[in-house]
Amino acid sequence: MSGAESGVPVVGRLAPTPTGFLHLGHAWTFSMAHRRVRECGGRLLLRIEDLDLQRCKEEFVEGALEDFRWLGLDWDGAPEFQSRREELYLDAWRRLRDGGFVYRCGRSRKEMSTLAPHVEEPVFPVEWRGSVEEARCHETPSGWNWRFRVPDGRRVVFDDQTFGPIEKMAQKDFGDFLVWNRDGIPSYELAVVVDDLAMGITEVVRGADLLTSTARQLLLYEALGGCAPVWCHCQLVCDAEGRRLAKRSGGLALRELRRRGMSPAEVLELAAAGVVNPC
């Protein structure tokens, strides 16, 4: 059931990460987010996901806004910037610590990658877990990685507007995941859930590459005591070689297509021709 069908006013969001220029896949996803909200008279908020200050650039923020305008995607109110919301994330971290949901983790990315060298995101081994009791001795997350302790063998099920029922198993599809990074910033998973809750988001539209993240995020909703939104994951757009688009797929950047004289409608047609199911 969508938010509109349930009678709750729909609040959606556009949430670009300004680490590069938007490409065809973004046009597809963001247009879907916009269309679904506008069709039911809901509100659409804009959130710039700029927590990674090393990789995010002002140029890409400006670029995303320009591309949205060109595509005809408008939003309501002033944009929010994740980089200005640290207090909210810290508050959520304290609640997770107090609730016994997180622990300090000394394992490095290198150690993780030696577990399964060819796997993008290996499942964190339960033997490497830290103590949620010890976590209570920390006033702040500072200086450490912090992980969410995923309930053993937990089956997370949700209904997706595109793909129908989705099931992900803890310790098989995903393991204990980061909520805070040693370099002082909250993880994507934590920041997104905290913001979607604080901004009253009722509907999340994003790429199908984030289906497993949704399972993790549902556990955070549960731990933080919030109501999860309606999920709509969009099929991914691939390039001519069948590879998923990345910000480095420069040739399919919206500004490049625009420079070649394509119209927004032609861009969306091209995207529609390239959509594939998630791997």
Residues that bind ligand GLU in the complex, under the rule CB under 6 A = 15-17, 49, 192, 206, 210
SS3 for 56-91 is CCHHHHHHHHHHHHHHCCCCCCCCEEHHHCHHHHHH
What residue is closest to ligand GLU based on CB?
A: 206
Contact 52, 276 (CB under 8 A): no
Residue with tokens 């508050």: 91
Give min distance, CB of 243 to ligand GLU, in A: 17
The CA distance from 206 to 230, in Å, is 11
Closest distance between ligand GLU and the C-beta of residue 226, in Å? 15
Kindly tell me which of 125 and 278 has the beta carbon lying closer to ligand GLU: 278
In the complex with ligand GLU, the residue whose CB is nearer, 17 or 145, is 17
CB 160 within 8 A of CB 231: yes
Q: Are 252 and 245 in contact (CB under 8 A)?
A: yes
Q: Based on CB atoms, which residue is closest to ligand GLU, 85 or 206?
A: 206
Give the shortest CB-29-to-ligand GLU separation in angstroms: 8
Considering beta carbons, is residue 20 or 130 the nearer one to ligand GLU?
A: 20
User: At closest approach, how far in Å is the CB of 140 from ligand GLU?
Assistant: 25
In this complex, which beta carbon is closest to ligand GLU, that of residue 179 or of residue 210? Answer: 210
Q: For residues 52 and 46, what is the distance between their CA atoms, to the nearest angstrom?
A: 18
CB of 99 to ligand GLU, least distance (A): 23
Q: How far is CA 92 from the centre of its chain?
A: 17
